[in-house]
C-alpha cells in the first residue's frame, strides 16, 4: 500500500511537469495546428536564463545560486520564454507558410536542435545545481511517505495555469483564437487580428514552457543542456495524445497518467527484480501504441 | 530516353570519382567515406518516407541501430556470413516499421512522427541495453567480411551498396506502388478516389524505408566493427531528417548529397575524431555542427523547399535525361517533394 | 412530388443525414441512379450537393441512412473500397497529383486495373513492362477522347483551370468507373466549351455505358443533358423529376431566383 502511495506521489510530481509541457503543446496545436517539438527547449533556455541571474551572470564559475533571487529569476524566465515563443512564431513558423503538419513538426525539431546546441556551447555539457522554490517535504498523514513541498508547488502552479487557460478559452479573445485555427480566412474577415492572436498563443506557450523548465530543473535540483526535451518532452507528447491533442484538461490528465505509469513501471521492475532496462521509456511507447490502437481520438478529444 | 555521349561521359566521370575517392583520401579519413555512404543510404531510406510518401520519422536512428545490432548479433553470436547478416538487418528493420506503422498510420502522419520519437527513446534506453543482444555498455562486435577487411575495401563495399539502393530507388519511383505512394503524398483524397489503398501504401513506404535503414545499419556496424547504444541518439534521428530536407526531399541525388554533407561536416569542422559521436541530447562535448545543420534546415524550409536538388535543378534535369534547364513547374513539386509548401 | 423507385438501381442513397457540430448539412436525402443515365443535381450554394458527393464516395460517413452500390451496402466502406467497386468522382478543387505530368496522372489513375504485382513492377519484368505500354496507350486514348491529347507531357502545375478540369475527368475515366460523379466540371468554362463537354458526357453514357451524376451551376446545361434531376435546398430534397418537370416547378424557381419566379428557364 505504501508503495502504491509512493508511486502515485512521485508519479504526480513528474506528471505535473509533463502536464505543464503538454499544456504548451496543446495550446499551440489548438491555435495553429502545429505540434511544436521545440516546446521543451522553450523551457530549458529560460531555465538557464534564470540560473544566470541567480549566479550573477558568471558562466565560467561554479558559484552557488543565490536562492534569494529565485523569484525575480522565475519572472525573468517567464518573460524570456514568452519572447522566445513569439520569436519562434515570427521567425520560423510564419515564414514557413501553409505547410503540412509533418513539415512544421520537422521545422520545430530543427529549432530544438539549434537551441540545444546553443546551450551546449554556452553552458557546456554538465549538470549545474538548480534550486527549488521551497525545500524539504512533509510526511503524508498515516504513512511514512515523504511528499516534497516542491511537488505541492508544481501542482499548485499547474492548477493555476489550467484554470487560467480554461477561463481564457471561454472569454471572447479565447473564442476568437479558436476561430483563427478553424478557419483563418473567415476569422480575418470578421476582424479578428489573426496574426497577433497566433503570436500570442506561441508567446503563452513559451511562458508555460519557462515554468516547466524552472520547476522541472527543480525536480532534479540540477540543470543540463537539453534537459526538458530529453526528460519531459516525449512523455508530455504522449500524454497530450492520450488526452486528445486539443483538450487542455486532456493534456493535464494525460500528463498525470503518464507520470504515474512511468513511475509504476520503474517500481514494478525494481520490486520484481526484472532485467528490463529503461522501464519508463518502454511504458511510454506501450501506452502510445495502446492508445492509438484502442482509442486514437484520445480520452477526451474528438478525432480531427 | 536516348543516352547522349556527353551524358554517358558524365556518369562515367561520377563513377570514376567514386572509385578514386577511397584511393586519394588520407587513410585516416577513409572510414569517413564509408560513413558518408551509409548516411547516403539512410538519406534514401528517409527519402522514401519523407520525399515520396510525405510522412516523417523522428526515430530513424533507432532503425539504423536495430539493423546494426541485428547484424552484429548475427555475425558474432550466430556466426552468420556477412551477406546473411545484412538480410537479417533488413528484415528486422522491416518488422519494426511494420509494427509501428501498422498502429500509427491508421490514424495520421503526425502520429507516425510521434510513435517514431517514442520508439527512438525506447530503443536507446531499453532495447539497446539488453545485454545478451547488444552487449550492453560494452557494445556489440560486428566483424567485416573477409573479402572487405581493409578500410579501403570496406569503403568500396559501402559505396557499392549505396549504388544498389540508388538503383532500387530509381525502379521504385517508376513502379506502380511507387507512383501510388507519390500520388497519396500530393493528395490522399484523390489517391483514394482512384482506388489506391492509402494506409496500405503509406505502410509500404515505411516498411521499405525500415528495410533500407536496416541495411544501412548493418554496414554502419562494421565501419568501426563495434557498435554501442551511444551511436543512436535522438539527435542523430533529427540529423537524418535534416540531411533529407536540406538535400531536397523527393530527389534521390539531392538527398544523397545531403547525407554525404552531414557525414563529412564534423570532420571538416573539427579534423580530430574526438567529436565524432557527439551530439546534443546525449550531452557529451560541445560542437557547433548540429546548429549549422539546423540553420540549413530552417533556411531550406523557408526559402528553398527543394533543397540542394533545387539549387542544382538544371544539372540534375540534364543527368535525368532532360534538357540542361531548370524545370520551373517541377520545383515546388517533384523536387520539393514531401516538404514543399502546399498550394 | 413522389420519389421515383427504380427496380435495380446502380447507386442508391437511402435517407442520408449528416450533422457537423450543430449544423444539419443533409437531412433525409434520397437519390437513385439507374444504368446508362445522366442524373443532374441542382441547388443553390450551400444546398449540400458536394456534401452528398462526399457521403456517396466515402469521405464523410453519414450520421444516419445508407449508401448502396450495385446492391451492396457500402455505408461503412472506405473511399478506396468504393472506387474499387466502380465509383469514380471528381473534386471541386481539381483532384490531380500536382507534381506529376498529365500522362503520369492517367497512368497512376489506372492503379486498380494493373494485373502484375508491385514487386514485378519494381524489378521491371517483361510482363510488367509490356503492361506499362498498355497503360500508356490507354491513357492516350482517354486523353484523345477528352480532346486534350496534346497535353499529355505537360506538368499539372501551370495548366489553366479549365484544362485541369478536363484532365481530371480524363483521369477518373481512366479508372474505368461504372458510375462517374462530376463536381462542377464546367467551373471557369465558356458557354461553347460547356456545350461541347455536355456532348462528351452523353457520349460517355452512350458509348462507354457509364452512368453519370452531374453537379453544375449552369442550370440550362444540366436540364439539357440530364435524364433525371434532383434538386436540393439547404440540405433537404426540394424536388426531383424529368428535366422538363423541374424547369416548370415553381418551388425550384423560387429557391433559385427568389420570390415571384415561376419557371427556371
> CB A277 to CB B283 under 8 A?
no
Residue C1 lies in a domain: no
Residue A96: which residues within 8 A CB-CB, separation 6 or more?
A103, A104, A107, B301, B302, B341
Report percent pLDDT > 90 for chain A. 56
**Distance of alpha carbon C208 from alpha carbon C142, whole angstroms:** 11
Give tens-digit pLDDT for C240-257: 999 999 888 888 888 777
Question: What is the domain extent for residue C104?
Answer: 96-161
pLDDT in tens, C32-90: 999 999 999 998 888 899 999 999 999 999 999 999 999 999 999 999 999 999 999 99
> Which residues 278-307 of B are in CB contact (within 8 Å) with A?
280-281, 283-291, 293-295, 297-298, 301-302
Supply the pLDDT for residue A61. Answer: 55
Task: Please indicate whether, in this complex, the C-beta atoms of C89 and B332 are within 8 angstroms of each other.
Answer: no
Is the predicted pLDDT of residue A199 greater than 80, yes or no?
A: yes
Beta-bridge partner residues of C212: C38, C180
Partners of chain C (3+ Cβ pairs below 8 A): B
CB contact under 8 A, A285 and B301: no
User: Which of C106, C132, C161 finishes a domain?
Assistant: C161
- Distance separating alpha carbons of residues C96 and B186, to the nearest angstrom: 8
Q: Give the model's pLDDT for residue B11.
A: 82
Q: What confidence score (pLDDT) does residue A19 get? A: 95
User: Is the same domain home to C265 and C214?
Assistant: yes
| Whether residues C143 and C188 fall in one domain | no
What's phi and psi for A147, nearest 5 deg?
-105, 125
**Domains observed in chain A:** 2-294 (1.10.3470)
Select from A101, A109, A224 the Cβ nearest to the Cβ of B241: A109
Whether the pLDDT of residue B232 is over 60: the answer is yes
- Residue B326 confidence (pLDDT): 61
Out of C108, C127, C161, a domain closes at C161
| Calpha distance A207→A226 (Å, rounded) | 17
Percentage of residues in chain B having pLDDT higher than 70: 87
Whether C36 and C105 share a structural domain? no
Q: What does the alpha-carbon distance between residue B166 and residue B172 come to, in Å, rounded to a whole number?
A: 10
What is the arithmetic mean of pLDDT over A146-150?
A: 92
Determine contact: C98 vs chain B, CB below 8 A. Answer: yes
**pLDDT of residue B335 exceeding 50:** no
- The string of DSSP codes covering B166-204 is HHHHHHHHHSHHHHHHHHHHH-HHHHHHTT--HHHHHHH
Q: Given C97, C109, C172, which is nearest B186 (Cβ)? A: C97
Is the pLDDT at B89 greater than 50? The verdict is yes
State whether C149 and C209 are in the same domain. Answer: no
CATH number, residue B180? 1.10.3470
pLDDT band at B18 (very low <50, low <70, confident <90, very high): confident
Lowest mean pLDDT among A178-192, B53-67, C110-124: A178-192
Residue B185 backbone phi and psi in degrees, to 5 = -60, -45
Task: Return d(Cα C190, Cα A71) in angstroms, integer.
Answer: 70
Average pLDDT over residues A159-171: 89
pLDDT digits (tens, 9 = 90+) for A207-266: 999 999 999 999 999 999 999 998 999 999 999 988 888 888 889 999 999 999 999 999
What is the per-residue pLDDT for C83? 95
Assign A45 a pLDDT band (cuts: 50, 70, 90): very high
- How far apart CA B259 and CA C126 sit, in angstroms, is 34
Cβ atoms of residues B207 and B200 within 8 Å: no
Cβ neighbour number for residue B204 with a 10 Å cutoff: 21
Contact between chains at A281 and B122 (C-beta distance less than 8 A): yes
Question: Could you tell me the pLDDT band of residue C127, with boundaries at 50, 70 and 90?
Answer: confident
Q: Do A288 and B118 touch (CB under 8 A)?
A: yes
C224 and C147 within one domain: no
How far from A205 is each of A42, B58, B72, B113, CA to CA, in Å? 8, 22, 44, 21
Residue C185 sits in the same domain as residue C244: yes
**Does some domain include residue C91?**
no
SS3 (DSSP) at B245: helix
Report how far residue A144's alpha carbon sits from residue A135's, in angstroms, rounded to the nearest whole number: 18
Whether residue C97 lies within 8 A of chain B, CB to CB, comes out as yes
d(CA C136, CA C118): 17
B195-199: average pLDDT = 94
Which of these, B80, B116, B120, B86, lies nearest to B101 by C-alpha position? B116
Q: Does residue C151 sit in the same domain as residue C195? A: no
Specify the pLDDT at position B331: 40
Boundary residue ending a domain (C115, C134, C161): C161
Q: Are A37 and B298 in contact (CB under 8 A)?
A: no
The reported pLDDT for the residue numbered A56 is 81
* Pairwise CA distance, residues C238 & C232, whole Å: 5
For residues C217 and C157, membership in a common domain is answered with no
Taking the CA atoms of B130, B275, B299 and B49 in sequence, report the sign of the dihedral they define: negative
Q: Which residues contact B78 (CB under 8 A, 6 or more apart)?
A: none
How many CA atoms, within 13 angstroms, populate the side-chain half-sphere of residue C220? Answer: 4
Q: Is a pLDDT exceeding 80 seen at residue A297? A: no
Q: Mean pLDDT across chain B, nearest whole number? A: 86
Same domain, C130 and C257: no
Quick check: B175 contacting C, CB < 8 Å? Answer: yes
The answer, yes or no, to whether residue C199 has pLDDT greater than 70, is yes
Amino acid at each position: 500500500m505504501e508503495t502504491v502511495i509512493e508511486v502515485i506521489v512521485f508519479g504526480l510530481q513528474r506528471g505535473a511537469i509533463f502536464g505543464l509541457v503538454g499544456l504548451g503543446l496543446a495550446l499551440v496545436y489548438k491555435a495553429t495546428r502545429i505540434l511544436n517539438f521545440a516546446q521543451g527547449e522553450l523551457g530549458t533556455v529560460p531555465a538557464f536564463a534564470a540560473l544566470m541571474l541567480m549566479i550573477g551572470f558568471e558562466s565560467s564559475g561554479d558559484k552557488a545560486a543565490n536562492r534569494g533571487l529565485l523569484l525575480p529569476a522565475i519572472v525573468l524566465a517567464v518573460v524570456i520564454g514568452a519572447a522566445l515563443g513569439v520569436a519562434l512564431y515570427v521567425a520560423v513558423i510564419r515564414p514557413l507558410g501553409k505547410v503540412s503538419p509533418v513539415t512544421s513538426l520537422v521545422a520545430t525539431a530543427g529549432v530544438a536542435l539549434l537551441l540545444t546546441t546553443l546551450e551546449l556551447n554556452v553552458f557546456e555539457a554538465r549538470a549545474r545545481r538548480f534550486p527549488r522554490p521551497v525545500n524539504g517535504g512533509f510526511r503524508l498523514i498515516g504513512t511514512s511517505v515523504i511528499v516534497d513541498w516542491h511537488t505541492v508547488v508544481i501542482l499548485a502552479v499547474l492548477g493555476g495555469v489550467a484554470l487560467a487557460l480554461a477561463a481564457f478559452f471561454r472569454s471572447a479573445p479565447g473564442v476568437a483564437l479558436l476561430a483563427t485555427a478553424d478557419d483563418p480566412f473567415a476569422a480575418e474577415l470578421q476582424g479578428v487580428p489573426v496574426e497577433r492572436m497566433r503570436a500570442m498563443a506561441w508567446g503563452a506557450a513559451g511562458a508555460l514552457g519557462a515554468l516547466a523548465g524552472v520547476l522541472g530543473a527543480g525536480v532534479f535540483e540540477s540543470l543540463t543542456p537539453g534537459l526538458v526535451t530529453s526528460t519531459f518532452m516525449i512523455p508530455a507528447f504522449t500524454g497530450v495524445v492520450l488526452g486528445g491533442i486539443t483538450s487542455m484538461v486532456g493534456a493535464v490528465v494525460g500528463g498525470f497518467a503518464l507520470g504515474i505509469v512511468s513511475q509504476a513501471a520503474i517500481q514494478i521492475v525494481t520490486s520484481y527484480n526484472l532485467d528490463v532496462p529503461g522501464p519508463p521509456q518502454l511504458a511510454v511507447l506501450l501506452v502510445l501504441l495502446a492508445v492509438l490502437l484502442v482509442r486514437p481520438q484520445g480520452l477526451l478529444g474528438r478525432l480531427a | 530516353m536516348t543516352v547522349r555521349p556527353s551524358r554517358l561521359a558524365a556518369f562515367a566521370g561520377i563513377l570514376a570519382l567514386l572509385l578514386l575517392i577511397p584511393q586519394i583520401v588520407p587513410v585516416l579519413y577513409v572510414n569517413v567515406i564509408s560513413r558518408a555512404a551509409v548516411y547516403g543510404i539512410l538519406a534514401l531510406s528517409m527519402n522514401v518516407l519523407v520525399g515520396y510518401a510525405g510522412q516523417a520519422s523522428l526515430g530513424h536512428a533507432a532503425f539504423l541501430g536495430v539493423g546494426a545490432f541485428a547484424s552484429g548479433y548475427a555475425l558474432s553470436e550466430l556466426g552468420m556470413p556477412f551477406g546473411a547478416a545484412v538480410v537479417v538487418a533488413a528484415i528486422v528493420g522491416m518488422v519494426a516499421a511494420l509494427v509501428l506503422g501498422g498502429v500509427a498510420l491508421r490514424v495520421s502522419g503526425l502520429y507516425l512522427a510521434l510513435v517514431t520519437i517514442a520508439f527512438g527513446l525506447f530503443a536507446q534506453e531499453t532495447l539497446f541495453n539488453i545485454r545478451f543482444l547488444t552487449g550492453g555498455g560494452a557494445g556489440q562486435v560486428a566483424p567485416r567480411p573477409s573479402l572487405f577487411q581493409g578500410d579501403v575495401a570496406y569503403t568500396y563495399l559501402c559505396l557499392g551498396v549505396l549504388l544498389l539502393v540508388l538503383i532500387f530507388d530509381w525502379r521504385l519511383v517508376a513502379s506502380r506502388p511507387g507512383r501510388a505512394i507519390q500520388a497519396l503524398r500530393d493528395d490522399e483524397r484523390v489517391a483514394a478516389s482512384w482506388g489506391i489503398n492509402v494506409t496500405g501504401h503509406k505502410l509500404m513506404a515505411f516498411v521499405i524505408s525500415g528495410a533500407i535503414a536496416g541495411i544501412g545499419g548493418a554496414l554502419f556496424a562494421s565501419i568501426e566493427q563495434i557498435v554501442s547504444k551511444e551511436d543512436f541518439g535522438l539527435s542523430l534521428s533529427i540529423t537524418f531528417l535534416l540531411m533529407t530536407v536540406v538535400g531536397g526531399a523527393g530527389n534521390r541525388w539531392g538527398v544523397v548529397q545531403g547525407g554525404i554533407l552531414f557525414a563529412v561536416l564534423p570532420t571538416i569542422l573539427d579534423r580530430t575524431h574526438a567529436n565524432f559521436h557527439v551530439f546534443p541530447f546525449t550531452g557529451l562535448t560541445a560542437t557547433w555542427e548540429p546548429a549549422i545543420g539546423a540553420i540549413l534546415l530552417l533556411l531550406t524550409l523557408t526559402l528553398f523547399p527543394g533543397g540542394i536538388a533545387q539549387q542544382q535543378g538544371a544539372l540534375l534535369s540534364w543527368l535525368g535525361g532532360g534538357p540542361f534547364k531548370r524545370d520551373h513547374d517541377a520545383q515546388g513539386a517533384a523536387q520539393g517533394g514531401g516538404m514543399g509548401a502546399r498550394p | 412530388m413522389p420519389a421515383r423507385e427504380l427496380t435495380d438501381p446502380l447507386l442508391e442513397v437511402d435517407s442520408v443525414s449528416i450533422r457537423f457540430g450543430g449544423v444539419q448539412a443533409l437531412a433525409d436525402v434520397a437519390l437513385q441512379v439507374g444504368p446508362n443515365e445522366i442524373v443532374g443535381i441542382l441547388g443553390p450554394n450551400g444546398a449540400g450537393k458536394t456534401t452528398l458527393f462526399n457521403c456517396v464516395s466515402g469521405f464523410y460517413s453519414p450520421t444516419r441512412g445508407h449508401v448502396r452500390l450495385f446492391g451492396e451496402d457500402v455505408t461503412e466502406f472506405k473511399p478506396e473500397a468504393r472506387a474499387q467497386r466502380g465509383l469514380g468522382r471528381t473534386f471541386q478543387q481539381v483532384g490531380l497529383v500536382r507534381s506529376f505530368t498529365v500522362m503520369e496522372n492517367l497512368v497512376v489513375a489506372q492503379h486498380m486495373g494493373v494485373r502484375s504485382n508491385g514487386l514485378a513492377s519494381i524489378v521491371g519484368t517483361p510482363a510488367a513492362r509490356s503492361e506499362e505500354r498498355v497503360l500508356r496507350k490507354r491513357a492516350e486514348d482517354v486523353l484523345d477522347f477528352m480532346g486534350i491529347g496534346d497535353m499529355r507531357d505537360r506538368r499539372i502545375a501551370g495548366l489553366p483551370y479549365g484544362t485541369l478540369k478536363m484532365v481530371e475527368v480524363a483521369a477518373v475515366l481512366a479508372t474505368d468507373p461504372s458510375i462517374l460523379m462530376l463536381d462542377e466540371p464546367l467551373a471557369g468554362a465558356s458557354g461553347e466549351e460547356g456545350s461541347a463537354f455536355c456532348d462528351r458526357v452523353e457520349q460517355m453514357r452512350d458509348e462507354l455505358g457509364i452512368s453519370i451524376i452531374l453537379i453544375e451551376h449552369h442550370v440550362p446545361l444540366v436540364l439539357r443533358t440530364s435524364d433525371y434531376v434532383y434538386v436540393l435546398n439547404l440540405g433537404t430534397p426540394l424536388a426531383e423529376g424529368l428535366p422538363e418537370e423541374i424547369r416548370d416547378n415553381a418551388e425550384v424557381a423560387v429557391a433559385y431566383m427568389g420570390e415571384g419566379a415561376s419557371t427556371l428557364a
